[in-house]
Amino acid sequence: MTFPDDYTVIDIETNGLNSTIDDIIELSAIRVREGIIVKTFSKLVKPQRPVGRFISNLTGIKNSMLENELSIEEVLPEFLEFVGKDIVLGHNINFDINFIYDKSIKHFNKAFSNSFVDTLKIARKLKLDCENHKLKTLADYYKIKSGRMHRGLEDCRVTYEVYKCLKAYVLAKMAEFM
């Protein structure tokens, strides 16, 4: 298992679970170099369909917050440029990648094919002594202060902190065998 020091943490918020019919409503990323945050990106996105009550309650993102935002066709290129060819890191990252991939293909006929690291997958493999492997649960397990979960930039920050803890744990365990 390799743990990169240079990567971009990504997180999206959506108005549903189906990447072919639902919309991205927030794109966020944190660029990390040598393990240190160097730059952030976060933008709300105007969806084609309104945000329902469940998603609004979960994320805190209201339709009124999105009505004057740019469309996915305008925001996604900025996001993709920010991410570049970096390894992307996220929690349950396949969800995010599927949406980004589908929207990139749909609007630009260009695949999103960056390599990735999934903190959810790492946590599951480590069989940590916690009730589940949700991001909030892992944050609590590692005593990471977290603000409003299910907002892109905060989820990126918490994922970055969880990743550092997971990496330290694995490296410490490996050192025991050397």
Active site residues: 150
Q: Determine how many CB atoms are found less than 10 A away from the CB of residue 93.
A: 21
What CA–CA distance (Å, rounded) separates 47 from 68? 10
Helix extents (H) in 24-134:
53-59, 63-66, 72-83, 93-108, 119-126
Q: By the 8 A CB rule, do 66 and 49 touch?
A: no
User: H or E segment at 114?
Assistant: none
What CA–CA distance (Å, rounded) separates 125 from 112? 26
